[in-house]
Every structure is written in structure tokens, then in C-alpha cells.
Amino acid sequence: MTHKSLLVADARTKKRNAAERRFKAYGLTAIVVAILALIMLLVSVFGTGASSFRQTYATVTVPLPEDKLDKSGVRDIDVMKKVTTIGYTKLLNEGFENVVIASGIPTELSRKDIGGMLSKEAAATIRDHILANSELVGTEATLDLLMNGRIDGYFKGRVTMESAALDSNTSPEELALAQALKDAGIVHTKFNWAFLTNPDASDQRPEAAGLGVAILGSLYMMIVVLVTSLPIAVAASIYLEEFAPKNRWTDLIEVNISNLAAVPSIVYGILGLAIFINFLELNQSSPLVGGLVLSLMTLPRIIIPARAALKSVPPSIRDAALGVGASKMQSVFHHVLPLAAPGILTGVIIGLGQALGETAPLLLIGMVAFVREYPAAYTPDAGLFGEASTALPVQVYNWTQRADPGFVERASGAIITLLIFLLVMNAVAIFLRRKFERRW
């Protein structure tokens, strides 16, 4: 038998060491794959969505002749309302053509084509403006008006001269004119506040679509979720952690809660449809029903961390309270609960975050409806949070189902908004945990 030096690795050792390195490389690859997936996801969403926060406007001076807009001559709102957006569109086309002529840019486009470069929403904007400021009739008004989605897409790189040549909604001549107007400072791009405040818009005008109703609906639902699930979850976890005897009945509740946390969310949608809408006859599409469904779904997801928070309070605290004559209930409510509160709060915020991003159950209770009216928190007819509304994640789904490619940008922009809300909520949760967490 030949003895080799320990310092020289033999074939078997080399093989084993190679296997070791390979194994480690697999692990590293897995981490890299996961992080790359995250980066690709974020790049994809931010890449397509970031541009929805900027929007192209044109500064247009619109003539407002009295004989067209106010036949009564006394600024009677009811008479002025008889002029529809079609009437305003004509004035708008005229005004925009005048602007183009005044700028000295040569173009062969007709007045209708030039006017068509503005959004279909522009006529409604100017009509609302005139109805609110009737003294402007007889003069002229200078306003920033939305350009249509194709022109806007050209400045964002979504529409090119080649694609415009194939597109019946725009033409390379229009894009060239738009570019010239931009150079002349008449067309400009600015931060799009309207995206966060406007309601949804119809299929042909993605440039006017906004998240106002969706944000309001999501806010209402979060209020409902917070008000219903926080007290119930805290009460349930106090009972299970502090009072429940160990028997079959409480075992059943425990198994139940961990199962409910894993039930597919769409099942809660079916539950909401059957119980809240078909049986209790609450309003379809209302934030109340949406909030209740999300509360049922969130409850087990809050109870689990809340119980962990209660459990982490050391028994000596309870014993001390009982020792000086407090009742069991007093020891829990005066001592254990305040100490567990930061942990419970963290769990609640994370649960709310999950509820905010949940989509599937809301589709089933009718929140996919097209809603342009801002829902009121309370009306005598619809009750509390009873008016039809939509929600942020559902709005994303809605926009993905539209034909106009401009809506893809809007959907990604809505996701960015949603992710920012989630980021803020989670940051608050982490801050609370860091600030108040106590190690015993």
C-alpha cells in the first residue's frame, strides 16, 4: 500500500471537494434567480408604468361666442347646459387650429384632424370649466387640455412614426405637427396629478383615466377592514391565548384558524357573494361588502401574529399582576395587552397590506363595474359605504381587459401606486417593530 502525503489531495478528495463547491454554487444560483426575478418584475412594472405619471397637454385658447354657448344671454345655467360636448368640440377644433396657424407651423391637416389631436375628454373639460365660470362666455379662455393617447404615447416612446402609419387613430403628419408644437412650447408634458384624482375613463380615452375612485374605494374598504377585524382579532387571540381551556373545542378553533389562513382568497369571494349580497342583500360593488369580505379573509391572518405577540409577553408579568390582587381579566387588559400592542399592531398593518392588494374576491362581488362617480362615505339611500365603487387592484385588472394599448401603461402606473402604498404600510410596521419591540 502506498502512502501519499496529506498535503496532496487524492482523486476522491478532489471529487468530494468539487461536489461541495457545486452544491454551494446551486444554492447561490437559487438566491440569484430569486433576486433576478424580483428585479425583472420591478423593472417591467416601473418601466411600463412610470410614464403614466407624466402627461402631455396643449395650451389652447378657445373662443367662447355667446350665440353658441348661451342663447338666453343671461348666463342661465340650465340653458347653458343644453350645449353638449359636441358643441364645444367645434369651438375647440377652431381654437386649436388658430393656435397652430398663429404659431406659423405649416401643416396640411384639416381642422378636424388638428382638433382630433386633442383628447375626446378635452371638450368635457372645457364645458365643465365654462359651466363653473359662466362669466367667461363672450370672451375666450386659455386652458391646458389633454392631448389624445396616441400623441401622448409618441412623446413617451410607445407610438412611433411607423406604427402611426398603420394606425387609423393617428397619422405620421399628426405626430410631426405635435413634435413641432412641442418645440414651439405649445404642447408640453407635466406631472400627471389627474392620474391620482380623476375617475376611470371610457375605452377610447386612456389619457383621461385616473385612479381617484379606486383609491377612495380602497380607502373605504381599509377602514371597514380595520374597524371590523382589529377588535375581533384581538378579542379572539386574547381568548385563545389567555383563557381557553385545552380541550377538543378549542383545538377545533385552532385548526380552523390555521386552515382559514390558507383557504384560497377566491373562496371568500364566493362566500361574500352568497351571504352579503344574495342573502343579506347589501349593495353590489359597495366598499362595505368588499371590506367585509376582506375582513373575513384577513381575520385569521391577524389572529396568528396577534397570538404570537401575546405569547411573547413573559408569564412573570401575569403572575405579578395576579399576585397583587388583580383579576385574570385585569391582568390581561391592564398589563399583557399593552405590552403586546406593538406586536399586534405590526401584524394588523401587514394584514391590511395583504387585504389592500387582494383582487380575486372583489371581482366576484361586482367591483369590476365601471364607476365614474366618486362614492360618498354615507348616503341615506345606500347607507354607510354603500355606493358603488372600485378598488386599486381591481382597477388594474379592469385596465388590462381594455383594447387600447394606452391602458397597459395606466395599469402599470396603478400598480406603482399600489406598491407605494404597500411600501409605506410595511415601512410603518417595521418602524413600529424596531421602536417598540422588547426582548425579555
Partner 1 sequence: MSPAQLTKDTRYMLPMYVPLLATALLAVAGYYFAAKRAAASAGGDIRKLAALPSQYGLFTALSVIIPTLAALIIGLSFGGLGGALPQVLLGVAGLGFLVSIYKISPDFRARTHAETWIKVILIAASVIAILTTVGIVFSMLFETRNFFSQYNWRDFFFSTEWSPNFRGNSALGIIPLLWGTLYISLIALTFAVPVGLFAAIYLSEYASRRTRSFAKPAIEILAGIPTIVYGLFALITVGPFLRDYFAQPMGFGDSASSVMTAGLVMGIMLIPFVSSLSDDIINAVPQAMRDGSLGLGATKSETIRQVVIPAALPGIVGAILLAASRAIGETMIVVLGAGAAARMSLNPFEAMTTVTVKIVSQLTGDTDFASPETLVAFALGLTLFVITLGLNVFALYIVRKYREQYE
Taking the complex as a whole, how short is the minimal distance between the CB of residue 208 and partner 1, in angstroms?
21
Q: Does 303 bind partner 1 (CB under 8 A)?
A: yes
Residue with cell 457545486: 22
* Window 279 to 298, contacts with partner 1 (CB under 8 A): 279-281, 296
Burial 194-212 (b: 16+ CB within 10 A, else e): bbbebbbbeebbbbbbbbb
Q: Which of 138, 132, 141, 134 is nearest to 75 (CA)?
A: 134
Could you give the maximum distance between any two Cα atoms of the chain, in Å? 118
Per-residue contact track with partner 1, 42 to 81, x per CB under 8 A?
A: --xx--x---------------------------------
Closer residue to partner 1 in complex, CB, 243/436: 243
Among 9, 14, 41, 227, binds partner 1 (CB under 8 A): 41
CA 394 to each of CA 58, 213, 361, 362, 411: distance values in angstroms, whole numbers, following the listed order: 31, 11, 10, 7, 10
Closer residue to partner 1 in complex, CB, 174/241: 241
Chain centroid, CA 354 distance in Å: 13
Taking the complex as a whole, how short is the minimal distance between the CB of residue 236 and partner 1, in angstroms?
4
All residues at 6 or more sequence positions from 339 whose CB lies less than 8 Å from its CB, including other chains: 313, 317, 438
All residues at 6 or more sequence positions from 26 whose CB lies less than 8 Å from its CB, including other chains: none
Q: Does 163 bind partner 1 (CB under 8 A)?
A: no
Phi-psi domain of 53 (left: phi exceeds 0; alpha: psi -120 through 50; beta: other) = alpha
Among 9, 161, 255, 420, binds partner 1 (CB under 8 A): 255
Q: Please choose, out of 91-99, 171-179, 270-278, 334-342, the segment that lies near partner 1 by the rule CB under 8 A.
A: 270-278
Among 105, 244, 337, 339, binds partner 1 (CB under 8 A): 244
Task: Give counts: helices (H), strands (E), the chain.
Answer: 20, 5
Q: Please choose, out of 76-84, 99-107, 123-131, 406-414, the segment that lies near partner 1 by the rule CB under 8 A.
A: 406-414
* Window 318 to 347, contacts with partner 1 (CB under 8 A): 327-329
Closer residue to partner 1 in complex, CB, 41/102: 41
